[in-house]
Amino acid sequence: MNPQPQEEIERTMFRYTLGHSPIELRRLDFQSEMLKPVTRRLLESARLRPSMRVLDIGCGTGGVSMLAAEMAGPTGTVVAIDPSDVAIEAASANAERASLHNIRFRASGLDQVEGAHGFDVVVARYVLIHQLHAAEFVRHAARFVKPGGYLALHEPDFVRKPMSTPLIPLWDSVAAEIIERCKRSFPSFDVAHRMVKLFAAAGLPLPKMSYEVPVDGGTATQLSSWLAEMLRALSSDPDSTVLGSGKRLEFARLSGDLQCEIYESRAQVEFFGQMCAWVQL
């Protein structure tokens, strides 16, 4: 692999701003299960088939890597990279428990990956929001796609606030707080709303796109837990946090309180939208 100028390397390095504490690793595992159906549809749109070679950028605890490995089958290969040794260790353990042996996990930055144009599918999930220079990152990621292969990206929408009907005040205030904290924490928090411009800036063709909103009712147990844990991930204290309104929330009871309000109001609630974009190169 030809050496890159240092400035370009720094502009295409991916970073994860939420850390890798045991609580965060558990949240990532839970989030992976919640996102699995959406990401599967993305990989199907990217024509992932048995025997293909996949690069998973920013693999975290391995959710996308394992899904891709299942779809590629035992004759396929997944190369999964993440700059965190802790994340790679957790991902490797998850894959071992799932008896998936066609994944090669590496503690690596994108600049250290070899094999330009060597992958049928290059995928990244919840990675662009962390990038200061998202277009440069996408341009660099595209270099690893074989001619005729696909670049596939999955990002959350932290611009549009999830709705509750009828209005659930606690759900509304937690969702609004998450959006405000994402604006402060993630350099590209709004990337889901500018995919067309992003691909153009990266010198790539117009992508195909889909947008899904998870919705539930009853107690909305999983969405309530997901929302509560997302707020915890964006908080300095793992036990409690203070909203912009001054209200203090205890994480030990937040998910339960959300579930009670939703159930008692016979409401339905939305989670943050999921934007998927893919392009054949």
> Residue 54 CA to chain centroid, in angstroms?
17
- Closest to 124 in 3D by CA, of 186, 188, 56, 171: 56
Q: Tell me the average pLDDT across 36-48.
A: 98
Predicted confidence at residue 17, as pLDDT, reads: 66
Task: Work out the burial of residue 78: count CB atoms within 10 Å of its CB; fewer than 13 is exposed, 13-18 middle, 19 or more buried.
Answer: buried
Please say if the pLDDT value at position 1 is more than 50. no
Cα distance between the two ends of the chain: 20
Please say if the pLDDT value at position 8 is more than 60. no
Q: Could you give all domains of the chain from N- to C-terminal order, each with its CATH number?
A: 6-280 (3.40.50.150)
Of the pLDDT bands very low, low, confident and very high (cuts 50, 70, 90), residue 2 is: very low
Predicted confidence at residue 110, as pLDDT, reads: 85
Q: Tell me the average pLDDT across 176-200.
A: 97
**pLDDT digit string, tens, across residues 226-278:** 999 999 999 999 999 999 999 999 999 999 999 999 999 999 999 999 999 99
Please say if the pLDDT value at position 70 is more than 70. yes
Q: Cβ distance 94 to 61 under 8 Å?
A: yes
Task: Work out the burial of residue 233: count CB atoms within 10 Å of its CB; fewer than 13 is exposed, 13-18 middle, 19 or more buried.
Answer: buried
Predicted confidence at residue 210, as pLDDT, reads: 98
The percentage of the chain sitting over the pLDDT mark of 90, rounded to a whole number, equals: 88
Predicted confidence at residue 102, as pLDDT, reads: 97
Q: Tell me the average pLDDT across 212-224.
A: 98
Please say if the pLDDT value at position 12 is more than 80. no
Q: Tell me the average pLDDT across 11-24.
A: 69
**pLDDT digit string, tens, across residues 88-112:** 999 999 999 999 999 999 998 888 8
The percentage of the chain sitting over the pLDDT mark of 70, rounded to a whole number, equals: 93
Angle of helix 251-264 relative to helix 221-233, nearest 10 degrees, comes to: 140
Tell me what the pLDDT averaged over the chain comes to: 93
Of the pLDDT bands very low, low, confident and very high (cuts 50, 70, 90), residue 23 is: confident
Measured distance CA(212)–CA(3) in Å, rounded: 39
